[in-house]
Each structure stands twice: as C-alpha cells, then as structure tokens.
Structure 1
Amino acid sequence: MGFVVHLLVCLLGTGSWVAINGMWVELPLMVPSAPEGWLLPSYLTVIIQLANVGPLAFTLAHRFLPGRVSEVGVIYAILGLGCLACLLLAFFWRSTSLVGGIPRSTALLALLFFLALVDCTSSVTFLPYMRRLRLDYLTTYFVGEGLSGLLPGLVALGQGVGTLHCNGTGNGTGRPQEDRQEPRFSVQTFFFLLTIMMGISLASFVFLNYLPAAKKERAKEKYHARVQMEKMVGTQVTVEERPMIGGTPGRSFGSGTYSGPQLAFIFVLLAWVNALTNGVLPAVQSYSCLPYGNAAYHLSATLAALANPLACFLGMFLPHR
C-alpha cells in the first residue's frame, strides 16, 4: 500500500503549478485571439505577482490566528477553486468587454488571477501538509511538482500550433492565398484537460485524508517524531552547544553557519534568480519570439516548461554541496 500513497502524493504535487504552467504553454495559441495580443504574457506575469497576496494572507493568519487556520481546509479550497477556474476558462477565455472604450479580456484575466492564487498559495500549504507523512514522501511530492510542468508541456507538444502556409496565387489576382493549418485540438479542449488534471489532484488529496493506508503512514510519522524528540531530550543537545564553523559567530543556514553579509548575499542572489525566472524572462519571451512567429513562440514556451522538471531530475544524480 506504500506505492498507493506514493502515487497519491505524486498526483497531489502535480496540482501545485499545473494550471499556470498550462497557461504559459497555451499562450501562443491564445495571443492571436486576445485583444491584448503579444502583451498577454506581460499581463500574466503581473497577475502572478499580484496573486502572492494568497501566501501572504495565509502566513499572516498563521502568525496572528495560530491554530485557527488549517492547511487541509485551505488545500481543499484552492484545489476546488482551481478546478472551477479551469472549467470556466474553457467557456469564457475568448469573452471580452469594453474597459475605458478598449476591448479587454476581462474574464480571461480575472480567471488567470484565481489560477495564480491557487498555485502561489499551494507553495505555502502543500509542504506543511507533507509534514504529516514520512520524510520519504517528500521526494515523491517534488517529483509530482516537476510533473506539473512536464505534463502540460507534453500535451502542448501534441497539440501543435496553428500555422499559415502560402498556397500560391489564386483567382487570377496575383495575390498569395493563405492556408491556415489548425492545431490538433482547440484551446477549449486544452482547458478541459487542465480541469481533469486539477480534478485528479483534488481526488488524490481526498484519498490521502481518508484512505486507511495513508492514515497508517501518518501514524508512523507521529511515532517516529515522538521517538526522535525523546532522543533529543535525553541527550540534552542544544543549539548553543553546537560548534560554530570557523569559530565565527553567525546564523545557521542549511548545513553551515554564515555571517550577516554572507546571508544577505545568498538571499539577494536567490531573489535575482527568481526575479529573472518568474518575472522578467516570461514577460519578454513573447517579444523575443515575435520576429519568428507563433511556431517559434509555441516551441520556446513548451520546451521551457519541460526544462524545469528535467533540471530537477538531473539534480538528483549530479554532485551537489
């Protein structure tokens, strides 16, 4: 039954970022139909940053209302919201309304915000929930999180992208005729598939809470945690008794102890890399691909979604500190 729990944890992990990753790979097919056009990726980048209000609210609730907010209830809420938003996108992603006299994709942008809210909040709720299970399942969860980018990317590769072909000249006008080749299935079908992926993640979370095999794993983790705590109390090891690296006072971080400037450098570097990966590069990707057309944009967005899980997979085997 351990395999079943591993499978459920993996499927739960796929629901973490599958919605937004799916949006990135589908943008090339949505750009020609949206009033925002090639600005749509920039809008999505801003919306994702605004959706960080979800993790902020969850963190503040834990800080000022301890014990009153359970990550289980929040996970049920965000996964249900993700399913509903994906389903509504299938029907309303083309809908527009006038804002300031200019047509805007108001339904699309609003639903994108809810999807981003779901995925951003999953980062601060799924991992605390994983503490209820044995540590072995954490690796399985991260595998599922990697699949949240891989699965939509593979679906998008199978979908293809609509292209225009010159069909010579016709009707004696001397003008070339355009022959549009449609993708293998529509954007609406893609959103239906995204809804199914979110629904599977929600169903796996329900089974993790009520399946007897999963309950046994939670009981084992509680037992091991109690034994570990008894060992720590018995040896009376405190943080103050641990030797400092190099004898220099500082703060513990990871497996070492660093000074204030070193910690500042580490976090500034992390902020810079994340700003590029999640903010700057996705926003300018459409402009960098614009001279090459939709096919190049579609492939670059899809392969970018595939690159992240591949890098995480290689990181499991390559040497690291």
Structure 2
Amino acid sequence: MALLTHLLACVFGTGSWVAINGLWVELPLLVTELPEQWDLPSYLTVIIQMANVGPLFVTLMHRFRPGLLKEVAVIYVILSMGVLACLLLAFLWSYTSPIAGVPHSTALLVLTLFLSLVDCTSSVTFLPFMMQLQPQYLTTFFIGEGLSGLIPALIALGQGSGISSCVNVSRVVNSTSGNETTFQMETRYLPAHFSTLVFFLIMTVMMVACLAAFFFLSRQPKVWELSQQQLFPSSITLNSFDQVPEDGAGSGGRGGHPCPKDAGEPGEALPEKVSYPLAKLVFIYLLVAWVSALTNGVLPSVQSYSCLPYGSTAYHLSATLSSMANPLACIVAMFLPGRSLLLLGALTVLGTGFGAYNMAIAVMSPCPVLQDSEWGDVVIVSGRAPP
C-alpha cells in the first residue's frame, strides 16, 4: 500500500506543471508554423503571468471566506479543465483568426490561459492536499513535480522539433545578358519524428493520469490516518527546514518548539521545527522572488532573441534542456541537501550572471558575440539552464 501511494503521489505531482512545460519545449516547432513566429514566447509569458489571478483568488477566498473552497473539489475542477484544454489544444493549436487586421493564434493563446490557470492554481491547492497525507509522501510529490518538466523535455528531444539545416539552393535569374544561375543558402526545417498533435495528446494522457492518480489517492483509507501532528500543519509545511536535535529528545532548541510524538510510534521523537529571524526570512523570500522572476518571466520572454541568432538547433536544445534543469536540480538536492544561506546567495549570484549574459545576447541580437563559433552555441545553451 505504501509503494502504491508513493507511485500515486508521484503521478499526481507530474500534473502540476506538465502542460506549460510542454508548451515551452514545443516552441521550436510552434514558432515555425504560427503567425507570431519568434514573438510567441513573449505572448505566452504575458498570458502565463496573467493566470496568477487563479492562486490569488484561492488565497483570498481562504482568507476572507475560510472553509468555502474545498481543496478536493477545486483540484477536481482544475484537473478536469487541464485535461479538456490539452485535448482541445491538440486539435486547435494551429487555428488562427484576425485581430485588428493581423492574424493571431487565438486558439493557442486562449487555451494557454486555461492551462496556465490550472498549473498556477496547482501551487496553492496540491500542497494543502498533500499536507493531509503522511509527510514521506510529500517528497515523492516533489519528485513528480520535477518530472513534469523532465518528461516533456525528453519527449521533445525524441520528437526533434524545430531542428533545421542550411541547404545551397540554385536559382535562375533573368537579366539583360540572358538567364543566370545564382546560388544562395536557405534554411530547411527537418520534419519532426511525430506531429504536434501527437505531442499534445501525450500531454493530455499525462493530465488524465494525474486526475486518475488523485482520484485513487484521495480514496486510500490508510493515507488519511493522521496523527496528532495534524494539529500543527506548519511542522509539515516547513518539513524541508526541519532539523533533528542531537539528543533526540525533541525538546527545546534555539528558536524551536517541541513537536508532539506520533501516536502510532510511541517513544519516537519527531523532527524539531526551526524558526528563522525576520531578516533571514526576508532574504529567502527576496531570493525566491528574484529567481522566479528570472526563470518564469524575464528569460523565457527573450529566449527566442537570445538563442535564435545561433540557429534553430541551439534554440531547440536550450528550450528542452532548460526544462530538464529543474528536476535534475531537485534530484541533486535530495542527495546533497544544502540549507546554507551563503550557498543559496552564491548560487543566486551565479544564476544572475548567466541571466545577465542571456539578456546581453538578446540586446545584441541578431548579431551577438560568437555567432559564427561553435563556442557560442555551447555557451548560450549552457547558460540558459542555471537560473
């Protein structure tokens, strides 16, 4: 039963951001087919940020009308919306209509808004539900959340979307002296191994699997057996900051509070909750806000301008490998946990440096440095992931 619950928690976690991550890794193919072309990442970034009204609404409802919204019901609604939006996207992504006389991908943009509402709202609904389960399943959920970026990236790599090659094409030109043959290089996009329809159908299947996992996860009787620790949910939400006292007594440490013992395991001390000073909490929140702004807003919106000058292959690799960076980092953090604020600050500075390089390349586009060098491709693809 425990192994089954871990599997369900992992599959449930994959549905948190799989739809939006799937859109990002499919961009190298979408930009070659849709009228927005290389401006499409900027459109998607704005729409995804607009979808934050979803978690804002849920938060305000919990604050001013507590108990009115039930996490289970909300999760069913957003997951069903995600399944329907993914299914419609598979068949309607190429549909365009004129807006102010200019053709736009109206179906893709509208459905992206609904998918963004699903993924953004999952951040404030999935975790409260997982807090009602035993704490060990929360780690498995985060593994699944990391896989929501890794799996679409691997599928896109197998699809080979947006990869191009340069072909020398001859043309006959009429002139006063007669017909002349000229040669010029043209970009030819290589056909993908499977279509965008198949890709979005795979995303739909993953959303259906997430919905089914939640259905069975919410109906397992054993995972609902909560201990007395349920009275103190903050000890679960801050689980990643917990420390076990050296004496194992579970009693007062510096800034900590004793945690109640699990009724099912008498005599076993639970981890002690650690509280941080206000200055450190502000520092942590500023780091989170800064890194989130880079990874979710700034860098994705200029990704086409920073990567396009180096070719479609570089853009394809940067879009897919950057989605793989988050789950890989989560896996590394599981085996090498680091809670040092100095380390967090150093990593943030390093990521900011790579982000600044990406912004500088975007500003210099379409003629950035190392454009005709293989090192330029390596640096821009490598520098896209660290933030």
Alignment TM class, shorter chain as reference: 0.7 to 0.9
Matched, 1:200 2:209: yes
Q: Which residue of 1 aligns with 2:36?
A: 36
Q: 1:204 to 1:33 in 2, by over 3 A?
A: same
Q: CA deviation at 1:318?
A: 1.6
Matched, 1:157 2:153: no
- The question of whether the paired residues in 2 share the 8 Å contact of 1:10 and 1:145 is answered with yes
- The question of whether the paired residues in 1 share the 8 Å contact of 2:14 and 2:145 is answered with yes
Q: Give me the whole-angstrom Cα distance separating, in 1, the residues matched to 2:152 and 2:189.
A: 24
Matched, 1:284 2:302: yes
Q: CA deviation at 1:58?
A: 0.6
Kindly indicate whether structure 1 or structure 2 has the higher relative contact order, using CA contacts under 8 Å at least 6 residues apart: 1
Q: Which residue of 2 aligns with 1:65?
A: 65
Q: Which residue of 1 aligns with 2:167?
A: 166
Q: 1:103 to 1:226 in 2, by over 3 A?
A: closer
- The question of whether the paired residues in 2 share the 8 Å contact of 1:11 and 1:201 is answered with yes
Q: Give me the whole-angstrom Cα distance separating, in 1, the residues matched to 2:334 and 2:288.
A: 20
Q: Which residue of 2 aligns with 1:104?
A: 104
Report the secondary structure of 1:32's partner residue.
Answer: coil
Q: Which residue of 1 aligns with 2:91?
A: 91
**Cα deviation digits, residues 16-63 of structure 1 (max 9, x gap):** 000001011001100111111111111111111110000011111111
Q: CA deviation at 1:67?
A: 1.2
Q: CA deviation at 1:118?
A: 0.3
**Cα deviation digits, residues 280-318 of structure 1 (max 9, x gap):** 111111110111222211110100001110011001122
Q: 1:227 to 1:192 in 2, by over 3 A?
A: closer
- The question of whether the paired residues in 2 share the 8 Å contact of 1:9 and 1:141 is answered with yes
- The question of whether the paired residues in 2 share the 8 Å contact of 1:161 and 1:294 is answered with no
Q: Give me the whole-angstrom Cα distance separating, in 2, the residues matched to 1:266 and 1:111.
A: 34
The count of aligned residue pairs is 296
**Cα deviation digits, residues 233-253 of structure 1 (max 9, x gap):** xxxxxxxx97559xxxxxxxx
Ranges in structure 1 where 5+ consecutive residues have no aligned partner: 229-240, 246-253
- Give 2:86's aligned amino acid: C
- The question of whether the paired residues in 2 share the 8 Å contact of 1:161 and 1:295 is answered with no
Q: Which residue of 2 aligns with 1:234?
A: none
Q: 1:317 to 1:47 in 2, by over 3 A?
A: same
- The question of whether the paired residues in 1 share the 8 Å contact of 2:307 and 2:314 is answered with yes
What RMSD in Å do the two structures reach over aligned CA positions? 2.3
- The question of whether the paired residues in 2 share the 8 Å contact of 1:165 and 1:181 is answered with no
Matched, 1:301 2:302: no
Matched, 1:183 2:189: no
Report the secondary structure of 2:276's partner residue.
Answer: strand
Report the secondary structure of 1:143's partner residue.
Answer: helix
Q: 1:217 to 1:180 in 2, by over 3 A?
A: closer
- The question of whether the paired residues in 2 share the 8 Å contact of 1:92 and 1:108 is answered with yes
- The question of whether the paired residues in 1 share the 8 Å contact of 2:75 and 2:122 is answered with yes
Q: Give me the whole-angstrom Cα distance separating, in 2, the residues matched to 1:37 and 1:89.
A: 18
Q: Which residue of 2 aligns with 1:310?
A: 328
Report the secondary structure of 1:166's partner residue.
Answer: strand
- The question of whether the paired residues in 1 share the 8 Å contact of 2:255 and 2:274 is answered with no
Identity across matched positions, percent: 57
Report the secondary structure of 1:182's partner residue.
Answer: coil
**Cα deviation digits, residues 172-214 of structure 1 (max 9, x gap):** 944457654201011111001110010110111111123xxx2
**Cα deviation digits, residues 93-116 of structure 1 (max 9, x gap):** 111111111111111101000001
- Give 1:291's aligned amino acid: P
Higher fraction of helix = 1
Q: Give me the whole-angstrom Cα distance separating, in 2, the residues matched to 1:257 and 1:305.
A: 32
Match of 2:222 among 216, 230, 243: 216
- Give 2:274's aligned amino acid: S
Q: 1:51 to 1:175 in 2, by over 3 A?
A: same
Report the secondary structure of 1:35's partner residue.
Answer: coil
Ranges in structure 2 where 5+ consecutive residues have no aligned partner: 173-179, 234-251, 257-272, 340-387
Equivalent residues in 2 for 1:244-263, closer than 5 Å: 244=255, 255-259=274-278, 261-263=279-281
Equivalent residues in 2 for 1:236-275, closer than 5 Å: 244=255, 255-259=274-278, 261-275=279-293
| TM-score, structure 1 normalization | 0.86
- The question of whether the paired residues in 1 share the 8 Å contact of 2:132 and 2:230 is answered with no
- Give 1:269's aligned amino acid: L
Q: Give me the whole-angstrom Cα distance separating, in 2, the residues matched to 1:204 and 1:114.
A: 21
Q: CA deviation at 1:274?
A: 1.2
Matched, 1:148 2:148: yes
Q: Give me the whole-angstrom Cα distance separating, in 2, the residues matched to 1:89 and 1:319.
A: 39
Q: Give me the whole-angstrom Cα distance separating, in 2, the residues matched to 1:275 and 1:20.
A: 16
Name whichever of 113-122 and 30-39 sits farther off.
Answer: 30-39
| TM-score, structure 2 normalization | 0.72
